[in-house]
């Protein structure tokens, strides 16, 4: 098992947000975390990487218990996190943004270079000297993912990668995620868009009001339109 989360409970101040969240990602697997606005997708990711102060539960990544480790240590152990907000450096060029994310090569994870990432995201290669602030939202989204890959993670948490993208850019994003998977990157991809999730993932979890209410293959989910209609807005 690449990542295992058990009994995750998270709070923001007095508000209890996540209730006994449990999920698993196998080696090389792509898993979708589906749920409506405010369901708890981002909080789940933030909790896994140690960005939620009040959390309890057990998080095992690559065979190591990281439940109480600080964020920088978790990320340096090969767990990449691409937040919902695109946090690129607007004054730095595409190449410079990528350099910021560079970490040493690590065993059991694919190794990325700028050139390899420009093959993964061809339009980033065409604008390698452009300032980050002069890129479209979709291009910035790709740059954020590419910068995370410069850290050579073995698993990546991708928070709503298709959000706000044009259909053409969505297509490129699907292709990039499929290539990342082929290269051996395990992923959890949070999504509201079931069609996008279906194109990239092996399995899916549905989260609603901080609770996991479904876990299964995409085929199992397709066989349960009742669950889909109750917990996802399509
Ligand atoms: N910093 C915060 N302080 C207090 N409550 C928060 C905070 N961040 C999120 N919440 C609440 O926690 C719940 C889960 O939010 P979260 O952002 O995890 O949902 P989400 O599934 O990522 O939604 P979206 O699809 O809109 O990104 C929501 O009720 C939200 O209002
Ligand atoms: Mg979110």
pLDDT tens per residue, range 65-79: 999 999 999 999 999
The β-bridge partners of 186 are 155
Q: Ligand 1 site: residues with CB under 6 angstroms?
A: 12, 15, 17, 35, 37-43, 84, 192
State in Å: Cα 40 to ligand 1 middle: 6
Burial of 91 (0-12, 13-18, 19+ CB in 10 A): exposed
pLDDT per residue as tens digits for the range 9-36: 999 999 999 999 999 999 999 999 999 9
pTM for this prediction: 0.96
Torsion, Cα 53 108 187 169, to 10 degrees, reads 120
pLDDT at res. 234? 63
* Residue-range domains of the chain with CATH: 3-232 (3.40.50.300)
DSSP calls for 11-25: EETTEEEEEEEEEEE
Nearest CA to ligand 1 atom 5: 12
- Ligand 2: centre distance to CA 159 (Å): 7
**Which numbered ligand comes closest to the C-alpha of 43?**
1
Pocket test for ligand 1, best of 36, 43, 159 (most atoms within 8 A of CB): 43
Q: How far apart are CA 63 and CA 80, in angstroms?
A: 16
């Amino acid at each position: 098992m690449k990542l295992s989360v058990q009994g995750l409970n998270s709070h923001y101040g007095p508000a209890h947000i996540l209730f006994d969240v449990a999920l698993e990602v196998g080696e090389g697997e792509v898993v979708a975390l589906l749920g409506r606005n405010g369901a708890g997708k981002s909080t789940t990711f933030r909790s896994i990487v140690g960005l939620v102060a009040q959390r309890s539960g057990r998080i095992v990544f690559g065979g190591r218990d990281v439940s109480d480790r600080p964020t920088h240590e978790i990320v340096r152990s090969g767990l990449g996190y691409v937040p919902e907000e695109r946090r690129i450096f607007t004054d730095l060029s595409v190449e410079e943004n990528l350099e910021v994310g560079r970490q040493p090569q690590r065993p059991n994870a694919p190794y990325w270079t700028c050139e390899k990432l420009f093959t993964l995201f061809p339009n980033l290669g065409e604008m390698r000297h452009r300032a980050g602030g002069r890129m479209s939202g979709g291009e910035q989204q790709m740059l954020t993912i590419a910068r995370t890959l410069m850290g050579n993670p073995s698993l990546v948490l991708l928070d709503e990668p298709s959000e706000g993208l044009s259909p053409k850019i969505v297509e490129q994003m699907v292709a990039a995620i499929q290539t990342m998977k082929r290269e051996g990157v395990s992923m959890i991809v949070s999504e509201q868009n079931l069609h996008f999730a279906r194109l990239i993932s092996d399995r899916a979890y549905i989260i609603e009001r901080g609770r996991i209410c479904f876990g299964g293959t995409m085929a199992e989910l397709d066989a349960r339109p009742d669950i889909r209609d109750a917990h996802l807005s399509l």
